[in-house]
Structure 1
Amino acid sequence: MIIKKIFNNNAILAKESGKHEFVVMGCGIAFKKNIGDEVEETLIEKTFILKQKDASEKFKLLLEDIPTEHVSLCYDIIEYAKNILGVELNDYIYVTLTDHISYAIKIFDEKLNRPNGLIWEIKKFYPREFQIGLKSLELIESETGKKLPEDEAGNIALHLINAQVNDSGNKMQDITNQTKMIKDILNIVTYTYNVILDEKSLNYERFVTHLRFFFQRLNKEEKIEIEDDFLLNQVKVKYKNAYECMLKIETYLEKELSEEEQLYLTIHIQRVTQR
């Protein structure tokens, strides 16, 4: 394993014969070293192997501008998130989250506040990601001595959500918009039925989960397929109020939904409004 580029004393770009380049970090790993020298493997603490070329290139650029301590801290946060969520995260998380957290620490030092207008919705709709965000704030405080505001836990959660469901071409704004739309749809149901939804119920959780994947399908233009419209016709009659509420949601979305989506939305509305 040889050194291809030196970012600083603690971070280098390395390459093994016949393999991809990857970023390696370790205390003093580049001290008194030159390009082409062998890497002292006993000093390696963290290894970043980003398979997506664009993400890899952007990560290298990031290393030139961001303190190594911040990069190392975000590595630990991402590894923790992977273990808790049990999913693969898009390589871009190493770029986007590292850049975000480093900037959040910077503006904290400058006594600036950046409120998260979706903090309540993130807590309600993405509780696991938000809890990881809170744990991240603990790690940040432990490493830097800086106690960032709870709003940043919400921002970290959004990055994690984005890395789970989006490819590299999509933007964080997609998740922000989806979260707002879920809130709006729940409000439509609440005001139509004039009830307070039980946010701790299984039916509420199922409805929100359905909406999350519903928006993913809309973005990808995927559809749920059912064999015929018999069931939808039955539901229209049996759950008339829920069906009419679904039509209000369709109007809000400004999009004609397939019969399949109409069916499942109606059923979920019926369930979530029943005590």
Structure 2
Amino acid sequence: MEKCIVKKALNNNVLIAEHELYNEVVLIGKGIGFNRKAGDLLEPSLVEKMFILKDKREQEQYKQLLPQMDEAIFDTIVEAFEIIQKRTQSMLNEHIHVSLTDHLLFSVHRFMKGMSIKNPFLMETKTLYPMEFEVAQEVVDIVNQSLHINLPIDEVGFITLHIHSALTDKELSEVNRHSKLVSELIDIIEQELHLQIDKESIDYMRLIRHLRFAIERVKRGEMLGENPKIALLLQMEYPICYNLSWKLIKIMQNTLKRPVDNAEAVYLTMHLQRIQNKG
């Protein structure tokens, strides 16, 4: 391992160091911070894990979070990151070290106080990001087992968004907005078609995934290519679903502040017709 010089010990097991390749890094290891002073040269064998936090603001946020954690919580959160990295086989965006640490710390403290937050987008999140949801479930299981608590399933949904944000290098706020938009569109579909969609059905999964990819196409400015004959046929055959598809498109345009390709109405109408037939 390259040379590291101690800048500041944050506790017995964590310190900030100057790394010859990565500049400032967070180093973790049993007893690594004990009796360390600024300027000490660090023995590489003591380092178990290293986080690179290039953003100065995030470095400061992480330093502020550490004193709020006892050793059990800290070890559990480090284990959670190991699981995410191992299961996704990806180099995680550095933001997740701050944002997910903060979220898990807050969730554990909230649970201890008997408070819970419902996740209104849970089913949509599970369907939108199935791989990330599976990993998040494992993270919650580890936290619950290690700390002898019982975080609810709602937390799996919140953690899923953190993982997806890190894997796609998207801001968490953007991932949240897209998840909220999909949930809002589903609510409108149920209201307009006067039905309750079966959230376990294949048609629901297809609709959710179509909405997700439609949002991504809009963000990228991609066009599907319009077929006026099919559009006219659907408008005549399925006027309720066709008109509803345009209502959804208008909401997408207003929320994303981007134009939506007219061809999206064709595909949405077909998805809506399937849902209506099963309703």
**TM-score bin (small chain):** 0.7 to 0.9
Q: Is the 8 A contact 2:124 2:208 kept in 1?
A: no
Aligned residue in 2 for 1:102: 105
Match of 2:25, SS state, is strand
Cα distance, 1:165 vs structure 2: 4.3
Following the alignment from structure 2 to structure 1, what is the Cα–Cα distance between the partners of residues 157 and 268?
27
Query: Which one of the candidate residues 221, 224, 228 is aligned to 1:223?
Result: 221
Question: Could you tell which deviates more after superposition, 237-246 or 261-270?
Answer: 261-270
Structure 1 residues 86, 216: CA separation in 2 closer, same or farther (over 3 Å shift)?
farther
Aligned residue in 1 for 2:142: 139
- Would you say how many aligned residue pairs link Structure 1 and Structure 2? 267
Following the alignment from structure 2 to structure 1, what is the Cα–Cα distance between the partners of residues 105 and 16?
21
Amino acid at match of 1:238: L
Unaligned residue ranges in structure 2 (runs of 5+): none
Structure 1 residues 102, 191: CA separation in 2 closer, same or farther (over 3 Å shift)?
closer
Aligned residue in 2 for 1:210: 210
Following the alignment from structure 1 to structure 2, what is the Cα–Cα distance between the partners of residues 197 and 19?
50
Following the alignment from structure 2 to structure 1, what is the Cα–Cα distance between the partners of residues 222 and 276?
23
Q: Is the 8 A contact 1:224 1:260 kept in 2?
A: no
Q: Is the 8 A contact 1:4 1:15 kept in 2?
A: yes
Following the alignment from structure 1 to structure 2, what is the Cα–Cα distance between the partners of residues 10 and 136?
22
Root mean square deviation, CA, Å: 3.1
1:249 maps onto 2:248 in alignment: yes
Structure 1 residues 197, 118: CA separation in 2 closer, same or farther (over 3 Å shift)?
closer
Q: String of CA shifts for 1:29-61, please: whole Å, max 9, x gaps.
A: 122222111213222222112344543443233
1:159-238 matches, within 5 Å, as 159-165=162-168, 167-168=170-171, 171=173, 174-190=174-190, 192=192, 197=197, 199-200=199-200, 202-218=202-218, 220=219, 222-226=220-224, 229=226, 231=227, 233-238=228-233
Cα distance, 1:207 vs structure 2: 2.7
Aligned residue in 1 for 2:161: 158
Following the alignment from structure 2 to structure 1, what is the Cα–Cα distance between the partners of residues 32 and 91?
29
Query: Which one of the candidate residues 91, 96, 118 is aligned to 1:115?
Result: 118
Unaligned residue ranges in structure 1 (runs of 5+): none
Structure 1 residues 21, 180: CA separation in 2 closer, same or farther (over 3 Å shift)?
closer
1:16 maps onto 2:19 in alignment: yes
Query: Which one of the candidate residues 60, 63, 80 is aligned to 2:63?
Result: 60
Aligned residue in 2 for 1:7: 10
Following the alignment from structure 1 to structure 2, what is the Cα–Cα distance between the partners of residues 259 and 205?
23
Cα distance, 1:194 vs structure 2: 5.6
Following the alignment from structure 1 to structure 2, what is the Cα–Cα distance between the partners of residues 190 and 113?
27
Following the alignment from structure 2 to structure 1, what is the Cα–Cα distance between the partners of residues 197 and 118?
27
Following the alignment from structure 2 to structure 1, what is the Cα–Cα distance between the partners of residues 90 and 245?
32
Q: Which consecutive segments of 4 or more residues in structure 1 shift more than 6 A?
A: none
Cα distance, 1:188 vs structure 2: 3.9
Following the alignment from structure 2 to structure 1, what is the Cα–Cα distance between the partners of residues 193 and 264?
21
1:239 maps onto 2:234 in alignment: yes
Give the share of equivalent positions with the same residue, in percent: 28
Amino acid at match of 2:233: K
Cα distance, 1:101 vs structure 2: 0.9
Structure 1 residues 167, 11: CA separation in 2 closer, same or farther (over 3 Å shift)?
same
Cα distance, 1:270 vs structure 2: 5.0
TM-score by length of 1: 0.79
Question: Could you tell which deviates more after superposition, 2-11 or 186-195?
Answer: 186-195
Following the alignment from structure 1 to structure 2, what is the Cα–Cα distance between the partners of residues 207 and 64?
45
1:44-83 matches, within 5 Å, as 44-83=47-86
